[in-house]
Amino acid sequence: MASVELRGLTKHYGPLAVVDNVSMTIEHGSLVCLLGPSGCGKTTTLRLIAGFVEPTEGEIRVGERVVSNTQRSLPPERRNMSMIFQSYALWPHMTVAENIVYGLKIRKIDADTIKKKLDAILATTRLAPLASRYPGELSGGQQQRVALARALIVEPETLLLDEPLSNLDANLREEMRFEIRRLHDEYRYTTVYVTHDQVEAMTTSDVIAVMNAGRIEQAGSPSDIYDRPRSEFVARFIGMSNVFRGKTLDGNTVSLAGTPIRVTGEPCKLGGETPVSIRQHQIALSAQEPAAKDNVIAAKVTRQVFLGSSRDYMVEVADGTQLRVVTPASNSVAPGSTVWLHLPPERCRALTG
């Protein structure tokens, strides 16, 4: 295994930069998720790493080897990488066992070694009872595990996964998220995982790199990305934060509908407006005006939806700014009522825009 380093990686199609000056290091043995909406450049980045696409600018290194730059690019088969696609691409005429060992056979590994590796991977992936079945006799989740086993058995330096769970139903997706993380913890291959599903990224990854318009907006641990977004795009994409714009009063205070709101995060933009994020469940909603006035603002309930374990509110403050608030189900306030919102200063994060 080895680290993967991207240095100024760029891919143009005509005048369009699909991947735009991406630089990051994927540490040895870590699982990094490239997360973002369709068209953000995450799959093209993965294909550049795999060698299916050549860069317009920049360099890719695996350990000490340069595998791709503008002068030369190693073909995929010489990069010691395994890739799992959205489709499982299993041979329908081969059994589970035959599919898994196919990569070893074309490498001309001896039969005894193949058997030992097969027995080990079947046990780890819990596929031993299915070894003699054919792909058409398996569920989607079982087929995905076969694809994972086939990729892992050849002991790649780097494992690449391109939206591997997109063809599964919701229950199987949830199960396979944990399975992928379990297998990663077992083998510790350096892994790059592409997804548009933030729950998938939060469940499986050590590091999330949020991509937008061909660039990495922010990279960090799942908790760092969720709790400390730096840009408006990241705040909205991860966890669906409220984002409002307040007139800057000083370096850590903005005005929302005439009410001073203290914030943390990026320094506020003096002389203008600052975008501020806060998550729906972090706002306290009360039908009674609290005695403490710090970071408290009045609002009117415009919508209330009962969701069983919680209530989902839309509220509007005096300047027309709307905020979503999620409260316990026991906190019931009728639409049209005046409520008071407490926005904890440590949860209000000033953003870069």
CATH number at residue 281: 2.40.50.140
pLDDT at residue 292 greater than cutoff 90: no
Separation CA 315–CA 338 (nearest Å): 9
User: Could you tell me if 162 and 20 lie in one domain?
Assistant: yes
User: Could you tell me if 31 and 137 lie in one domain?
Assistant: yes
Contact 63, 5 (CB under 8 A): no
Q: Quick one: pLDDT band at residue 266, thresholds 50, 70, 90?
A: confident
Average pLDDT of span 85-109: 90
User: Could you tell me if 279 and 156 lie in one domain?
Assistant: no
Determine the structural domain holding residue 196 and report its residue range. 4-227
User: Could you tell me if 219 and 263 lie in one domain?
Assistant: no
Average pLDDT of span 92-120: 92
Among residues of the chain, what percentage have pLDDT more than 90?
Answer: 76
Q: What is the pLDDT of residue 223?
A: 94
Q: What is the pLDDT of residue 165?
A: 84
247: Cα within 13 Å, side-chain hemisphere = 8
Q: What is the pLDDT of residue 299?
A: 97
Domain count, the chain: 2
Please name the residue that has the structure tokens 């074309």: 106
Does some domain include residue 325?
Answer: yes
Q: Could you read off the pLDDT of 65-76 as tens digits, one per residue?
A: 999 998 999 999
More confident residue, 315 or 177: 315
Q: Quick one: pLDDT band at residue 180, thresholds 50, 70, 90?
A: confident
Does some domain include residue 235?
Answer: no
Distances in Å between the Cα of 230 and the Cα atoms of 209, 210, 235, 253, 264 are 13, 11, 7, 17, 11
Pairing of strands 338-342, 296-306: antiparallel
Lowest mean pLDDT among 168-177, 239-248, 293-302: 168-177
User: Could you tell me if 150 and 261 lie in one domain?
Assistant: no
Q: What is the pLDDT of residue 291?
A: 84
pLDDT at residue 271 greater than cutoff 70: yes
Longest dimension (CA), the chain: 77
User: Could you tell me if 9 and 153 lie in one domain?
Assistant: yes
Domain boundary among 160, 193, 227: 227
Question: Can you list the pairs that 305-311 forms with residues at least 24 positions away whose Cβ atoms lie under 8 Å?
Answer: 306/332
pLDDT at residue 254 greater than cutoff 90: yes
Domain boundary among 227, 251, 286: 227
User: Could you tell me if 217 and 332 lie in one domain?
Assistant: no
Does some domain include residue 40?
Answer: yes
Does some domain include residue 237?
Answer: no
Average pLDDT of span 56-71: 94
pLDDT at residue 1 greater than cutoff 70: no
Does some domain include residue 137?
Answer: yes
Return the closest-CA partner of residue 261 out of 221, 321, 171: 321
Separation CA 41–CA 46 (nearest Å): 9
Does some domain include residue 238?
Answer: no
Q: Quick one: pLDDT band at residue 176, thresholds 50, 70, 90?
A: confident
pLDDT at residue 304 greater than cutoff 80: yes
pLDDT at residue 205 greater than cutoff 70: yes
- Reported pTM: 0.87
Q: Quick one: pLDDT band at residue 79, thresholds 50, 70, 90?
A: very high
CB atoms within 10 A of CB 107: 9
Q: What is the pLDDT of residue 224?
A: 94
User: Could you tell me if 23 and 139 lie in one domain?
Assistant: yes
CATH code of residue 173: 3.40.50.300
Amino acid at 247: K
Does some domain include residue 233?
Answer: no
User: Could you tell me if 293 and 215 lie in one domain?
Assistant: no
Average pLDDT of span 165-177: 81
Separation CA 248–CA 260 (nearest Å): 9
Q: What is the pLDDT of residue 346?
A: 94
Does some domain include residue 193?
Answer: yes
pLDDT at residue 250 greater than cutoff 70: yes
- The 3 state secondary structure assigned to the chain is CCCEEEEEEEEEECCEEEEEEEEEEECCCCEEEEECCCCCCHHHHHHHHHCCCCCCEEEEEECCEEEECCCCECCHHHCCEEEECCCCCCCCCCCHHHHHHHHHHHCCCCHHHHHHHHHHHHHHCCCHHHCCCCHHHCCHHHHHHHHHHHHHHCCCCEEEEECCCCCCCHHHHHHHHHHHHHHHHHHCCEEEEEECCHHHHHHHCCEEEEEECCEEEEEECHHHHHHCCCCHHHHHHCCCCEEEEEEEEECCEEEECCEEEECEECCCCCCCEEEEEECHHHCEEECCCCCCCCCEEEEEEEEEEECCCEEEEEEECCCCCEEEEEEECCCCCCCCCEEEEECCHHHCEECCC
User: Could you tell me if 216 and 249 lie in one domain?
Assistant: no
CB atoms within 10 A of CB 133: 15
Helix-helix angle 111-124:140-153, to 10 degrees? 140
pLDDT at residue 212 greater than cutoff 90: yes
| Average per-residue pLDDT for the chain | 92
User: Could you tell me if 223 and 273 lie in one domain?
Assistant: no
pLDDT at residue 353 greater than cutoff 80: no
Residues for the chain: how many in total? 353
Distances in Å between the Cα of 124 and the Cα atoms of 10, 17, 135, 138, 153 are 38, 41, 19, 18, 11
Domain boundary among 195, 227, 259: 227
User: Could you tell me if 209 and 254 lie in one domain?
Assistant: no
